[in-house]
Structure 1
Amino acid sequence: MQRDTDGGDRFDDRARIYHRTGTQADVPAVLALLDDAVRWLAEHGRTGQWGTEPLSTDPRRIAMVTGWAKESGLVLACVPTGDGGERVVGALAVGAARSYAPPVNEPELYVNLLVTDRSWAGRGVGRALLDRAREIAAERGATLLRVDCYAGGDRALVRYYERAGFTAAEPFTVDRPTGPWPGQILSQRIR
């Protein structure tokens, strides 16, 4: 076992991970990943990012995930199970930039979602999905890959993306009924 750059143990599981395009049938699996992430964040006192309520009960979130699946912008990281099936261990959604992201004057791909199974933390699932996002960007002729994330608390998520090769660009704030939500846009050049 080696230590990976995030401080977690890296197993050889990344070699077992494969990617496939998500479909509408995969929406419940993605929502389950999101609910697990919300639960984990809340258990660790990090409720500023997604709150404390399961996202699978939020009609807006369900519609977003369904839309990504309909537009073929959903990519799943899966591992084979012993019974010939698969387990979804991560999800990535790519497409157009969010409305709050400043427009750019070049072809880009925007990461709208990156979530991994918490029981697979430190095993390279997120990095593998970001690698896939880079491949998709290159396939589509994009010269820029952007992502945004929660920038509150200790900015741990911002640092995660910086370690993954992104550079912090514009900070932003989304006004929510529960108060302002601080965000950070990060970018990376695609060769």
Structure 2
Amino acid sequence: MDGAVEWLVAGGRTRQWGTDPYSADPRRVAVITGLASGGNLYVAVSGGIVAGALGLGPAPSYVPPAVEPELYIQLLVTDRAWAGRGIGGRLLEHARTIARAAGVRLLRLDCYAAPDRALVRYYEQQGFTATDSFEVEGPSGPWPGQVLEQRLT
């Protein structure tokens, strides 16, 4: 997570997760710890090195509630050293597999909606459809977000 923040900052994308290391925020650490202790954190490993992570759980309070059972992706991150190797796509496929096994047909997530919408486009390329836009108050002002969903068959 700290490496992802460093990469975002180096690219001038400081509004997404800020400029401080992810591990310096006790609230963020608590979220990751909760995902792991609840069995809802899945890690992609290659050669003993963590290449990415997926966290599943309930939708956050700032997004409109689903009107049917859903699986919510709370976290998707890949180590930039593994960029372009499909790690994120494989983790998303794992989420689909878990949802189908549970009989759930709706997969949702939210992400930072930067003016260039690059992250939104990434999820659209992964088969998600943008639905609700929202804004929450962040440490450096309003944080624009986008909810995306994917219907599973």
* Pairwise same-fold verdict (TM > 0.5): yes
- Alpha-carbon distance in 2 for matches of 1:117, 1:104: 30
Structure 1 outlier segments of 4+, above 4 Å: none
For residues 71-150 of structure 1, the aligned pairs below 5 Å read: 71-80=38-47, 86-150=48-112
Amino acid of the structure 2 residue aligned with 1:62: V
Q: How many residues align?
A: 153
- Alpha-carbon distance in 2 for matches of 1:111, 1:92: 7
8 Å Cα contact 1:75/1:92 also seen in 2: yes
1:50 corresponds to which of 17, 34, 44: 17
Amino acid of the structure 2 residue aligned with 1:50: W
**Does the alignment pair 1:37 with 2:4?**
yes
Gapped regions of structure 2 (runs ≥ 5): none
Secondary structure of the residue aligned to 2:149 is strand
Deviation track 1:123-159 (CA, whole Å, cap 9, x = no partner) reads 0000000000100111111110001000023110000
TM-score w.r.t. length of structure 2? 0.97
Deviation, 1:57, is: 0.9
Identity among equivalent pairs (%): 59
Gapped regions of structure 1 (runs ≥ 5): 1-33, 81-85
Deviation track 1:79-134 (CA, whole Å, cap 9, x = no partner) reads 12xxxxx1110000011111111111211000000000101000000000000010
- Residue matched to 1:19: none
**Does the alignment pair 1:68 with 2:35?**
yes
Amino acid of the structure 2 residue aligned with 1:95: G
- Residue matched to 1:151: 113
Amino acid of the structure 2 residue aligned with 1:187: E
- Alpha-carbon distance in 2 for matches of 1:130, 1:122: 15
Amino acid of the structure 2 residue aligned with 1:37: A
Deviation, 1:70, is: 1.2
Secondary structure of the residue aligned to 1:62 is helix
- Alpha-carbon distance in 1 for matches of 2:24, 2:53: 18
TM-score w.r.t. length of structure 1? 0.78
- Alpha-carbon distance in 1 for matches of 2:110, 2:144: 10
8 Å Cα contact 1:46/1:153 also seen in 2: no
8 Å Cα contact 1:150/1:183 also seen in 2: yes
Deviation, 1:175, is: 1.0
RMSD of Structure 2 on Structure 1 (CA): 0.8
